[in-house]
Amino acid sequence: MISYNAALVYSVVLAAAADGRVEEDELKTIKSMTLGLPIFVGFDDAKFFETAAACTDLLTEEDGLDAAIEIIRQSLPTKLCPTAYALACDVVAVNGIATQEELRFLEMLRHELAVDRLTAAAIERGSAARYARYRDDDGPE
């Protein structure tokens, strides 16, 4: 098992890497989370890269994604499972486009962490609202 903070880092790193590339916006969002969110108070920022590297190393192994998600599940207290899902959703939403790979990862994470559909829908809608973009040609919606 890893610390709950490390498990949260795993969830956002996996979300960023789900589509095979990590965008600058995703990295900035992750860094902002670890530096500013109350859940990360006490997390040694110097361990971030070590934790992220351990997570990405798992992805090189056979069934590495499943193993990483299982580590997250085992390491998180039940009450923090929706938090991990919310943070992952924010990372996916930050660039305004959710790829099929990212959506599949979120589905896997939601199932493994037993985040119910209603809670997940609320989290997803909140992430979409926080990272919404507006263009004048979007129309009067």
Write the pLDDT tens digit of every residue in 82-138: 999 999 999 999 988 899 999 999 999 999 999 999 999 999 999 999 999 887 665
- pLDDT tens, position by position, 12-50: 999 999 999 888 999 999 999 999 999 999 998 889 999
How many separate domains does the chain show?
A: 1
Q: Residue 71: which CATH number?
A: 1.10.3680.10
137 located within any domain: no
Among 36, 39, 118, 7, smallest CA distance to 15 is for 7
pLDDT score, position 45: 85
CA 86 centroid distance within chain: 7
Tell me which residue range forms the domain holding 37. 4-132
Q: For residue 140, tell me if it sits in a domain.
A: no
The encoded tokens of residue 85 equal 């899902």
Residue 141 maps to a domain: no
Q: Tokens at residue 70, please? A: 């299982």
This prediction has a pTM of 0.92
